[in-house]
Structure formats: structure tokens, C-alpha cells
Chain A
């Protein structure tokens, strides 16, 4: 269980499927019916063409480390220093996350390192997608 104190997301009608998926350990993206391209964050239309013809699908969970900062000041729910990362999913979209099972140091957090998704529960309603170094390394 995640330490208390973090900002807790409150799902909306347009994002509920994402958080329902996260609760079941699934990273759900959406795909544009016109271009076939994946997108994030969730919305019931394509940011590429405006079409409402979109579908939800489960992402592979594979990603690479795109960029990050390591915060050194106290924040409720976190023990500094901790990294706030942006990862690039295999399907294209990027998302903000934390990197777990990994020292929070510049030496351990190498850009473009392979990562995989893992979920941790905040409570019964919300689980957050985190990323950890991919098994088997590079």
C-alpha cells in the first residue's frame, strides 16, 4: 500500500475506465480510429483528428525513461530524495510516474533505460501506475 499523504486522483466520466483498469493491474490507453495512433490522457475523442471513433486497449506496460527530476524537499506522502519521472510507453504516449525498485539517484536512473509498469494501491478506489527497471535489464 502506498504511504498516505499523496494527492489522490478523482476520476471523471471521461477517465473512469483508466482508473478502473489500474485497479485491475491494467494500463489502458486509447486509440484514434482515424490514424490508429495511441493517445493519453484519456478522453472520448481523438486529439489527432477530433473523431469520436476511438477504442480502449491494454498497453504492453513496456516503457523507457524519457526524463525526470529528483526532488530533495519534503512533500506529504514522499520521502526525499524521490524522482518524478516521465516515461515513454512502447505505444508512443508519455506519462508522469514514479520509478520504483530502483535507487533514486542520477547513477541508477539512466535516460532511455527499459522499464515496465507495476501498480500499487492507494486505497480500494485508486491504484497508481508506477514503473520499475525491466526484468533482465537492458
Chain B
């Protein structure tokens, strides 16, 4: 069994630029982030012996492009939380002795679409037969489908769902690399352009170019690196269904309810010990589902928790401290950027640093509600 804090993140970086990066193709976004992460911890490609990235045939492309000869690879691709799963799988692989120093990369030309991953129609798939004929067109039409049911069940209002975006913009204002930093009000959100009722443009994530990379190794090697180690205390993962219509219940995510508590229990922490949290926010309802399904709020209470200011700067549970997918950046697979912010917070180097933060929970979602991964980090080894 993997020990708490046995594995650490010693290298972490995003791409040199975020936002619109028309001068780089997708594979170079991977490489730019990887080179920055290697520079962060003083490693060269020859020092890396494991590679994880998203997608079929991608580990070999990334390894070869960077000049790495891996003895362990992982191409798990379950959407935007794939990187949480990569961290989990990499920690287990290092524990097992399959590799010593693993590089996880993300690069996505989500906005400029240079060598971007195509999304072909699949009319024979179950989604293609039983969802696509009814007019879904990308995540804004699919991800929010459960939210009206959730609102009715719990009496959550449009103002509550606008408040999520308003609070996150407060965090974005503190992050120089955030794409949107100007303050917004509930009225601004509720008068912004309608995309897919009940969600308006300010409740939907950005579409950007960018990437990020992480380097993991055994914690007993961490002293050999110049960076402050960020220990992995616990991890969790699960999947449910790629068909949003077939989720077990629209009031929660079954995948969240497996991945989150699995990670928290493995970490051996109390929820009240958590100083900082990232919940992948492709759309404004996700922080509510995350807070509830991970047990930080009772069902139906997350909207009030946010409305009361608990997650904003100075609150007791700082959440999405970059501004999140709604305001910071969202390449298409945002999970890597949530992980990067947890690492910065644990290193004490975040632009909107939470003073004295020791434990960070980083929770990801992928492929609408189809997958989930959760990592609990600390800057103290148990």
C-alpha cells in the first residue's frame, strides 16, 4: 500500500504563456510546459523514466519529442481530470518500482486549434445514437443538463449560481495570469449572454491555449531538488457514464462520491484540516456538486456556503484561488491547472497565497460528469 506522503511533486510549471498562443502547436505546448517543469527542479530529459499524458498514441509522441526513454507510460484519457488519475497512477508506479521520476504533461491548443485533437462524430456509439440526435453541441449543452433538477431539489437560485462566478472573479483579480480579472456582480452574470439556459456566458469556462507539467518522485529523494516538495497524501478516481442522460442521479455525481472520499480517507485527514481547495469548474454548478459530494457541505448546502463567503478571499475554505476555469484559463482539459495551483499553494508561491496553508484538496471532473479524480496534497510529510 502506498504510504501517505511517500511520493512528492518536485517539479511543476505551466506553459510560458497562457491564453492565446498562436505560435505553438499542441505538442509544443506539452513540451514547453515539460521543459519549464524540468527547469523548475533542475532535471534533463535523460533523468525522466516515466511519462503520462492524455490520449491514444500520445505517450510515445511526447516521450520521443522530448528525448525521453521511458520504462513506464500512462495514456489514460478520461477528459479534464485525466491528470489527477495520472498523478495517482504515477504514485503507485513509483511505489511499485516501475519508474523513479515521472513526467506528466498537458498541452492543448483549445483556442488556436493548431494540431488540436479532433472530435469526430461517432454515430454508432451510444452517445451518437441516444444523445447527439437531440441537439447537444459541445460541453455547454451537456454539462449543465443536470442543474435545473439540482436547483429544484435544493431550492438553489439563479443568483446562487451567479455568485459562484462572482466569487471566483475575486480570486482571479489577484492572479496576473488570469484571463479575466475585472470584478463582476451577480447582475453582470445574470445579464450576460445566454448560452444554454440556465447558464450564461459568465457561468461557462473559457476556451484557451496552454499546458502544464508535473514531475513526481519518491519523497526520500525530494531533498535532492531545489524546490519545496509537495507530498501526495491521498488519491482517488472513478468513472460513471459518458452519457449525461444516464447518470445515476442529477443531484450528485457518483464519480465524485467515489473519487473524493477515497482520496480524503487515504490521506487520513479531517475535512476541517483542509486549508485550500480546487474543484474543477468547467461550469458554475461544479463547485456546488464538488463541495457536497466530497463531504464539505451537506446536500443542498453548498450554495449557502459560497453565498456566506466561506470560499472567497479571507474565507475559511479558499476555493479555486486562480479564478478557475471560469476566469483563469481553460484549455479544454483544465485539471492540470487545478493541480498546478494546489502545488503553488503548498509551496507558498501562489499569487493569491492562502497564508499558512498546509493541506490542499484538488478535485477534477472529466468528460462532462463521466470521470473524476481527486488528490490531497500537503507541504508537511506525515
Interface residues of A (CB under 8 A from B): 6-12, 15, 19, 40-41, 66-73, 75, 77-78, 81-82, 84-86, 94-98, 106, 111, 122, 128
Contact = CB atoms under 8 A, between A and B. Distances in A.
B367 to A, nearest CB: 16
A12 B146 CA distance: 28
A75 B135 contact: yes
Interface in B142-194: 142, 144-149, 152, 193-194
Contact of B245 (A9, A11, A86, A106): A86
Given A15-B129, A75-B137, 5 more contacts: A10-B129, A69-B145, A72-B194, A95-B130, A128-B133
B135 A67 contact: no
A98 B246 contact: no
A69 B132 contact: no
Contact of A6 (B135, B144, B146): B135
Give the interface centre of A11, A66, A71 by most chain B CB atoms within 10 Å.
Answer: A71
Given A70-B197, A94-B245, A111-B152, A6 B145 contact: no
A71 B123 contact: no
B92 interface: no
A9 B123 contact: yes
B243 interface: yes
Contact of B129 (A41, A82, A97): A41
B136 interface: yes
24 contacts: A6-B135, A7-B123, A8-B123, A11-B124, A12-B124, A15-B129, A40-B246, A41-B129, A66-B149, A69-B141, A69-B196, A69-B199, A72-B197, A78-B135, A84-B135, A84-B136, A84-B141, A84-B196, A86-B244, A86-B245, A96-B244, A96-B245, A106-B198, A111-B149
B249 to A, nearest CB: 10
B198 A69 contact: yes
A41 B124 CA distance: 13
Contacts of A75: 135, 137
Interface in B228-243: 243
Given A75-B137, A81-B197, A84-B134, A68 B145 contact: yes
Contact of B146 (A9, A67, A71, A73): A67
Given A70-B196, A81-B197, A7 B121 contact: yes
Contact of B141 (A7, A71, A77): A71
Contacts of B244: 86, 96
Closest 4 CB pairs of A and B: A9-B129, A70-B197, A7-B132, A67-B149
A96 B137 contact: no
A41 B132 contact: no
Contacts of A98: 134-135
A27 to B, nearest CB: 12
Contacts of A95: 130, 245
Contacts of B140: 71, 73
A99 to B, nearest CB: 10
A56 B97 CA distance: 50
B130 A41 contact: yes
B195 A73 contact: yes
B269 interface: no
B135 A86 contact: no
A7 to B, nearest CB: 4
Contacts of B141: 69, 71, 84
B126 interface: yes
Contacts of A84: 134-136, 141-142, 145, 196
B128 interface: yes
Interface in B196-250: 196-199, 243-246, 250
Contacts of B246: 40-41, 94
Give the interface centre of B146, B195, B246, B250 by most chain A CB atoms within 10 Å.
Answer: B246
Contacts of A19: 129
Contacts of B49: none
A81 B130 CA distance: 21
Contacts of B132: 7, 9
B40 interface: no
Contacts of B47: none
Contact of A10 (B123, B134, B243): B123
B131 interface: yes
Nearest to B131: A96
A97 B146 contact: no
A122 B129 CA distance: 13
Interface in B94-135: 121, 123-124, 126, 128-135
B196 A6 contact: no
Contacts of A70: 196-197
B129 A11 contact: yes
A77 B131 CA distance: 14
